[in-house]
Amino acid sequence: EILMTQSPATLSVSPGERVTLSCRASQSVNSKLVWYQHKPGQAPRLLMYGASTRATGVPARFSGSGSGTEFTLTISSLQSEDFAVYYCQQYNNWPQTFGQGTKVEIK
Amino acid sequence: EVQLVESGGGLVQPGGSLRLSCEASGFAFSRYWMSWVRQAPGKGLEWVANINQGGGEKYHVDSVRGRFTVSRDNAKNSLYLQINGLRAEDTAVYYCATTANGYFDHWGQGTLVTVSS
């Protein structure tokens, strides 16, 4: 089973700041990596698939990069609605596995 | 608009059973793989099970195999998860999700399963 490790666990930021979240896989997952946004009491939302392709309706301030074992999700200018927990997930190997999440909170 | 609405969660004693349901609307349900994903309190997300379009191909995570069974009824646009032999560690919010190539593109809001005596 591939272990996904996200860092940091919590990120305290101010609106308007640039945010970079990291996700590392224990072995190569090629580009089969997705990012989700999850707010309390809501359904998780797919943000990015194939490491760098935005899902339908996702604002352009979100971007993803990386391949192999190192991936990043960048939010160019954090908006109030972006405060949430972000999860990465690999789908290169069975079973698909998630990182433990990065909480983006208001500073 | 894709809608997934889970139901069937609740408080159950260890060793008990539940049947979770997920009613789908707004898309061609019978064309999609579907999955269950759970989140234990204070923990991250964990894939639990998935099922192909016709229901003949099913997969379960090792920790639930033999206790949980995923199924579907395309005539009713519904996905199910039969949960037997519940353990404290099965306490979680259970989400259903459409599944594309191994990831989850639409999710429901979840149903809470609490296992406690």
Is B46's Cβ below 8 Å from some Cβ in A? yes
CA distance to A88, A98, B92, per residue, from A92 (Å): 13, 12, 26
In chain A, the percentage of residues whose pLDDT exceeds 90 is 96
Tokens of B105: 């593109």
Q: Could you tell me if A90 and A25 are in contact, meaning their C-beta atoms sit under 8 angstroms apart? A: yes
Provide the 10 A C-beta neighbour count for residue B36: 28
Question: Do A98 and B47 make contact, defined as CB atoms within 8 angstroms?
Answer: yes
B106 in reach of chain A (CB within 8 A)? yes
Element (H, E) at B114: strand B111-115
User: B9 — contact with chain A (CB < 8 Å)?
Assistant: no
Contacts of B44 by beta carbon, 8 Å cutoff, 6+ apart: A87, A98, A99, A100, A101
CB proximity B27 to A under 8 Å = no
* Cα–Cα distance measured from residue B53 to residue A107, given in angstroms and rounded to the nearest whole number: 45
Q: Smallest Cβ distance to B109: which of A36, A42, A96?
A: A42
A93 reaches B (C-beta below 8 A): no
Taking the CA of residue A1 and the nearest CA in chain B, the distance in Å comes to 11
User: How far apart are alpha carbons A60 and B112 in whole angstroms?
Assistant: 34
Kindly indicate the confidence band of residue B101, based on its pLDDT and cuts at 50, 70 and 90: confident
Q: Which of A42, A46, A96 sits opposite B47 (nearest CB)?
A: A96
More confident residue, A53 or A107: A53
Residue A45, min C-alpha distance to chain B (Å): 7
Q: Which residues contact B66 (CB under 8 A, 6 or more apart)?
A: none
Question: pLDDT at position B82, please?
Answer: 98
A98 and A89 Cβ atoms separated by less than 8 Å? yes
pLDDT value of residue B100: 87
B53, B32 Cβ separation under 8 angstroms: yes
Closest by CA position to A55, among listed B48, B95, B37, B2: B2
Tens digit of pLDDT for each residue in B10-52?
Answer: 999 999 999 999 999 999 999 999 999 999 999 999 999 999 9
